[in-house]
């Protein structure tokens, strides 16, 4: 079983799981620049990896959020008024402790969730 870095995120302890440290590699598809954004995810009891819905179809799947994470990864903190889109940024998400990728859009088949 893979080891995960457990993180305490008060006051939001997840029910039936724990917060774990992850790294999202966010690629600007126009330039090819990749930045690492450190984040947390919930690892539910009995599961081997965090669920990827938030990156695949949820809030983190749109370019407006990915653009924000991309900026934060380099210390920028600003908002954008150019609306939301899809496909300008791709992500690869990995376990911070082991480095194992558990969600990858960098491959030819975007939105590809690994087993």
* Whole-Å CA distances, 106 to 2, 43, 68: 23, 23, 19
What is the reported pLDDT for 85? Answer: 85
Contact 90, 105 (CB under 8 A): yes
- The average pLDDT across 75-101 equals 86
- How far apart (Å, rounded) are the C-alpha atoms in residues 44 and 36? 24
Which comes out higher in pLDDT, residue 113 or 95?
95
Instruction: Provide the pLDDT for residue 7.
Output: 86
Mean pLDDT of 9-18: 81
Question: How do 101-104 and 89-95 pair as beta strands?
Answer: antiparallel
Quickly tell me which residue has 């938030």 as its tokens.
Answer: 54
Residue of 69, 73, 95, 93 lying closest to 6 (CA atoms): 95
Domain residue spans in the chain?
A: 6-113
Q: The whole model's pTM is what?
A: 0.84
| Residue linked to tokens 């930045």 | 35
Q: Which of 114, 64, 115, 111 shows the shortest CA–CA distance to 91?
A: 111
Is a pLDDT exceeding 70 seen at residue 111? no
Contact 114, 103 (CB under 8 A): yes
- Let me know: does 97 contact 1? Beta carbons within 8 Å: no
What is the end-to-end Cα distance of the chain in Å, rounded?
Answer: 14
């Amino acid at each position: 079983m893979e080891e995960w870095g457990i993180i305490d995120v008060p006051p939001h302890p997840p029910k039936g799981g724990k917060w774990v440290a992850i790294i999202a590699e966010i690629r600007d598809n126009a330039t090819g620049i990749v930045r690492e954004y450190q984040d947390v995810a919930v690892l539910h009891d009995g599961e081997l990896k965090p669920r990827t819905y938030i990156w695949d179809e949820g809030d983190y799947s749109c370019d407006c959020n990915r653009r924000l994470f991309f900026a934060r990864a380099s210390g920028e903190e600003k908002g954008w008024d150019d609306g939301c889109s899809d496909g300008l940024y791709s992500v690869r998400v990995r376990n911070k402790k082991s480095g194992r990728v558990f969600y990858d859009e960098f491959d030819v088949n975007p939105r590809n969730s690994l087993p």
